[in-house]
Amino acid sequence: MQKHLIFLHIFILLSSVSNVHAGIQSHESLKNTVASFLQSETKDTKDSEITVQDFDRRLRLHQCSTPLQAFWPLGNKRFGNTTVGVRCTGDKPWKVYVGAHIHIYKSVWVSNIGLNRNQVLDLASISKEKRDITRLTGGYLLSDTPIQGMQIKRNIPANQVLTNTMLDSQKMIKRGERITIVSRAGGIEVRATGVALSDGSKGERIRVKNTSSKREIEAYVSGKHLVLVTL
C-alpha cells in the first residue's frame, strides 16, 4: 500500500511539472523565430552568418496561442550586434527583445609581413583574406581596391587589416628635390628648372620655386620630378 502511495505521489509530481512546462514558450522556439527572420532579411547578402544569443533560464513566457512574429525595433541597425523583437498576439500577449549578431564576410587587404613607414606596397607584402567586416571597427579596404604602389604612413605589424588611414599615395616629389616645371598656355608649353618646397603625390598641389626667376608658385604634381602649371 505504501509503495502504491509513493508511485502515485511521483506520478502527480511529474504531471505537475509537465503541465507547467507545457504552458511555457520554449526558448528554442524563440531562437528559431529570430534565426528564420534574420535569414530572410539577409538572403541577398553574400557570405553572411547569424548568431542568436542564449536566453536567461529564468525567462518564462506564456505559450503563445498564435504564431510568433519577429520584427525590427525602431532605429535598430541591421548588421553586427543587433536586437530583434519577438511578439505574441495571442490570448496572453507579450513581447521580448532578443540579442543577435549578423556576421558579414568580405575579402579585404591584409599585411603578410611587418611593413615599415614609407615602404611602398607590392603584391608580395599583402594578401586577400575573408574577414568579418562587422568586427572591423577600425575600418578596412576591400580587396578590389587598388593599393599596389601606395606608401605606408606608419609601421604596421604582420596579419593586420589595412585601412585608408594607414596608406598614402606614393610621393613622386620630395621637398628640396630638383624638378621640372611645365607651364602651359593655349598650345604653348614652357619648361623651367625648379626646387620642390614640399613633398607631393600625383595630383597634389604643392609650392615650388623657379630657380631662374626665384619666384615661388603653386603647381600640380603630374609625374616623377615633374609639376604642371596651367596659366
Tell me the C-alpha distance between 114 and 158, whole Å: 4
Closest CA to 209 of 199, 200, 221, 218: 218
**Gyration radius of the chain over CA positions:** 33
Average pLDDT, integer, range 99-128: 94
- 3-state secondary structure at position 12: helix
Average pLDDT, integer, range 119-128: 91
pLDDT in the model for residue 14: 39
Count CB-CB contacts under 10 A for residue 98. Answer: 22
Are β-strands 205-210 and 126-132 bridged in parallel, bridged antiparallel, or unpaired? Answer: unpaired
pLDDT in tens, 41-71: 999 888 999 999 999 889 999 999 999 999 9
Q: Domain 172-230: give its CATH code.
A: 2.30.30.760
Give me the amino acid identity at 53: Q
Mean pLDDT of the chain: 87
HEC profile of 14-56 = HHHHHHHHHCECCHHHHHHHHHHHHHHHCCCCCCEEEEECCCC
pLDDT in tens, 129-162: 999 999 999 999 999 998 888 889 999 999 999 9
pLDDT in the model for residue 65: 94
Average pLDDT, integer, range 13-31: 66
Q: Please, which residues bridge with residue 82 across strands?
A: 100
What grid cell was written down for 33? 523565430
Are β-strands 200-201 and 188-196 bridged in parallel, bridged antiparallel, or unpaired? Answer: unpaired
Query: What is the pLDDT confidence band of residue 22, given thresholds at 50, 70 and 90?
Result: low
Q: Quickly name the fold that domain 105-168 has.
A: Type Iii Antifreeze Protein Isoform Hplc 12 (3.90.1210)
Closest CA to 146 of 132, 171, 128: 128
Q: How far is CA 128 from the centre of its chain?
A: 15
Give the start-end residues of each E strand in 112-166: 126-132, 151-152
Query: What is the pLDDT confidence band of residue 203, given thresholds at 50, 70 and 90?
Result: confident
For residue 2, is pLDDT > 50? no
Q: Is 119 exposed, middle or buried (0-12, 13-18, 19+ CB in 10 A)?
A: middle
All structural domains of the chain with their residue ranges: 23-104, 105-168, 172-230
pTM metric for this prediction = 0.65
Per the CB < 8 A criterion, the answer to whether 139 and 169 are in contact is: no
pLDDT in the model for residue 7: 40
pLDDT in tens, 156-199: 999 999 999 999 877 888 899 999 999 988 778 889 999 999 98
pLDDT in tens, 67-95: 999 999 998 888 999 999 999 999 999 99
